[in-house]
Amino acid sequence: MPFNITSYITETLIYKNFILVFSALDETLLLLLISLPLGFVLSLLFALGRISKYTLISRAVAGYIFTIRGTPLLVQIYLIYFGLGSIKAVRESILWILLKEPFWCGVLALTINTVAYGAEIFRGGIQSVTKGQIESGQALGFSTIKLYRRIVFPIALRQVLPTYGNELILMVKATSLVSLTTYMEMTGIARKIMAKTFAPVEAFVAAGILYLFLNFLMVQLVKYLEWKYNPHLRLNN
């Protein structure tokens, strides 16, 4: 009987596991599609708070950033999913509608975590804008809001794109920790497969391939944004 490579591949355990893990790709993407935009907006706001001339605001944001960056994401997930649920006031509040669901606990944990890192990244970008560039906007009569919208934010975002791209990649990988809240995203499905088949290599190789693919897309997106918003890169090409 002739050897059929297609039949062999489709019958292998890694292929079957890949199909099962792939079925949870939409759950991982949903986590990212909510937490990343939310984290981006809040990171900008917290960056502004970090450089605020009001000492109370600046110190409060600095304390938040230090606390979140100084504790593991896994601990934060456990505190939100298991810790908040043990507080009676939380269970009796309207917030419990969301916090009783592992998905929203995961979104909250990822958002809180990325805001702390993103705020510091954007703070560096904002402070990299030179005094002369700011004064040129003021000379044109720009209001503070218009100055940030037309000069400070565009320059700062171009400066921080490579660094913030690293944070986006870390966020893709961080979604795997949400499976510890019983939410069945790709890593959760891989752990379930491992428990049933006792084949951890095949299960997690399948998950690793998909995470690698997601990060490949993220890298290409960041490269495209760098090319689009940095004219000198287009001139070099």
Position 193 scores a pLDDT of 85
Instruction: Domain of residue 16: give its range.
Output: 5-236
Q: Could you write out the DSSP letters of every residue in 179-194?
A: GGGT--SHHHHHHHHH
Structure tokens at 1: 């009987």
Q: Which pLDDT belongs to residue 228?
A: 83
Model pLDDT, residue 230: 76
The 10s digit of each residue's pLDDT in 96-153 is 888 889 999 999 999 999 999 999 999 999 998 888 888 888 888 888 888 888 889 8
Three-state secondary-structure class, residue 54: coil
Evaluate if residue 63 carries a pLDDT over 90.
yes
pLDDT at 9: 44
Which tens digits make up the pLDDT trace of 164-201? 999 999 999 999 999 888 888 898 888 888 888 887 88
Number of domains the chain is built from: 1
Helix (H) or strand (E) holding 14: helix 13-22
pLDDT band at 234 (very low <50, low <70, confident <90, very high): low
Give the contacts of 212 (CB within 8 A, at least 6 positions apart). none
169 CB burial (10 A radius; 0-12, 13-18, 19+): middle
Q: What is the pLDDT of residue 197?
A: 80
Q: Does the pLDDT of residue 33 top 90, yes or no?
A: yes
- The pLDDT confidence band at residue 235, using thresholds 50, 70 and 90, is low
Q: Rounded to whole angstroms, how far apart are CA atoms 161 and 50?
A: 19
pLDDT tens digits, 78-102: 999 999 888 888 888 898 888 889 9
The model's pTM is 0.88
A 10 A CB-CB count for 75 gives: 11
CATH assignment at residue 104:
1.10.3720.10
For the chain, what percent of residues have pLDDT higher than 70? 92
